[in-house]
Each structure stands twice: as C-alpha cells, then as structure tokens.
C-alpha cells in the first residue's frame, strides 16, 4: 500500500544503437518508458515513483511524465555512470515514509499488473526478493580464448529480471557498503548477496523482457499483439 518505485532509466542504450536513449522509442502507441511508468501509476499498492535519467534526458522525461499524466512520479533525478549509481540516487530521493522499495528497469515495459501484484503477494514476507525465469538455452562457461570449460546444470539457473523488492534499510545498506568498496553488480540483489543477505527468487514471466537490442523491440510489439487476442 505504501510502496516506492525506483525506475533506472539513465542508460545510453548502446546495444540498441538508436543514437539516443532506447526508452524513448515507441512501442505501439507510446514510448517504452511511458509503458513502464504507466504500469506502476495504475497500481493501488504504489504511492510514489522516482525516475532516474541521464542529465541530457531529464527534459524529455519531464515532458513524458506530464504528457501521460503520471501523477505518482514525485521526482526525476540525474543518474550515474553505472546502473547501480542510478538506483542509489533514486532510492535516496524517495520520501522517508517509504519503507518498501521496488526497483524496475525502465527498459522492461511488458510487466503486467497481475504479474506485479502476484509478485508483491509472493514476496510479502521477504526482506529481499527478485523475479527470474528458467533458462531455455544450455549455458556453458568459456575461457577468454573461447574454449568451453564446462556446462552448467540448468535446473538451478535463472535469468534474472526486475521487479526486485527490498526493505529500504537493507537496500540502502547494501548500496552504501558496495559503493564504499567499489563493488559493482549488474542488479541490486547482487549487492545484498555480496553483503551476505538472503535473497528470495520467485518465478517471473518470460514476456517480461528487457528491451536491449533491435530485435527485442520487434518481439515486444509481437507480445503486445498477442495479448490483444
């Protein structure tokens, strides 16, 4: 009922190669980022949203937030070089009354409200929990020369997504300690793992892709079409 959302959206979208932040690309009727923020705007469990953007993108994000009438966005902050820095800044910007935080990539516009609410319910008693999906491909470890070292047993591997949910205290502690030791992770849960805090994993949805490369945009469009049928 009093959840704060941090949306890191301060990347450069290099792998998309659009020449600007991929989150402004249109996905059907509106920009990717408008889909992402719009989902949380609609959830009764969410009371505020902080969006983190690259300095040069702030005016565009402000415009998007006002155009789509996203009233729960309380702050738009300037992100850092790494995703981790962006999230840390976003967390700090949430009101002190917010004690439960969800971090969700701006580039994941396909999360649905039922899936989000199911996630909240399933993780109610966890101080840290994340969504992940079973891996479809066989995963092998290679060395720098491209030689295969081993095949990892797939049953216990998960491709990790956002949303990731945390009690505020432990998320802040993990971020402060990680940044003090220059430890960097590609998601927030890895910082908690690094300080030895348990993280619970629940089943995510395959459709909740991160729009990363050009074919992901095509796939995202197809998924939306599929949902209409």
Residues that bind ligand CTP (CB under 6 A): 8-15, 52, 79-83, 86, 105-107, 210, 212
C-beta of 205: minimal distance to ligand CTP in Å? 17
For residue 122, which phi and psi values (nearest 5 degrees)? Answer: -70, -20
Asked if 11 is part of the footprint of Mg ion (rule: CB under 5 A), the reply reads: yes
Pick what 80 binds: ligand CTP, Mg ion, none; C-beta below 5 to 8 Å, kind-dependent.
ligand CTP
For residue 148, which phi and psi values (nearest 5 degrees)? Answer: -75, 130
> Cα 13 from chain centroid?
14
**Of 98, 79, 121, 75, the residue nearest 168 (C-alpha):** 98
C-beta of 108: minimal distance to Mg ion in Å? 13
Cα–Cα separations (whole angstroms), residue 215 to 9, 162, 164: 20, 20, 25
Nearer to ligand CTP, 82 or 122 (CB): 82
Pairing assessment for the beta strands 128-134 and 158-167 based on DSSP bridges: antiparallel
Asked if 204 is part of the footprint of Mg ion (rule: CB under 5 A), the reply reads: no
C-beta of 124: minimal distance to Mg ion in Å? 31
Three-state DSSP class for 95?
coil
Contact stretch for Mg ion (CB under 5 A) within 3-11, 43-51, 140-148, 214-222? 3-11
C-beta of 138: minimal distance to ligand CTP in Å? 24
Asked if 13 is part of the footprint of Mg ion (rule: CB under 5 A), the reply reads: no
């Amino acid at each position: 009922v009093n959840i704060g959302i941090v949306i890191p959206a301060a990347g450069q979208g290099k792998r998309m190669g659009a020449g600007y932040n991929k989150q402004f690309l249109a996905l059907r009727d509106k920009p990717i980022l408008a889909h992402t923020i719009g989902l949380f705007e609609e959830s009764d469990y969410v009371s505020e949203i902080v969006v983190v953007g690259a300095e040069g993108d702030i005016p565009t994000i402000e415009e998007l937030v006002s155009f789509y009438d996203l009233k729960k966005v309380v702050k738009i902050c300037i992100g850092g070089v790494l995703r981790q820095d962006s999230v840390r800044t976003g967390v700090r910007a949430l009101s002190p009354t917010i004690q439960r935080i969800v971090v969700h990539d701006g580039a994941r516009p396909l999360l649905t409200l039922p899936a989000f609410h199911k996630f909240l319910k399933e993780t109610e008693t966890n101080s840290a929990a994340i969504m992940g999906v079973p891996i479809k491909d066989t995963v092998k470890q290679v060395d720098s020369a491209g030689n295969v070292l081993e095949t990892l047993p797939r049953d216990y591997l998960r491709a990790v997504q956002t949303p990731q949910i945390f009690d505020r205290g432990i998320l802040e502690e993990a971020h402060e300690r990680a940044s003090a030791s220059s430890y960097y992770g590609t998601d927030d849960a890895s910082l908690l793992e690094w300080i030895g805090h348990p993280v619970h994993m629940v089943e995510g949805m395959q459709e909740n892709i991160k729009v990363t490369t050009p074919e992901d945009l095509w796939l995202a469009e197809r998924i939306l079409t599929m949902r209409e049928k």
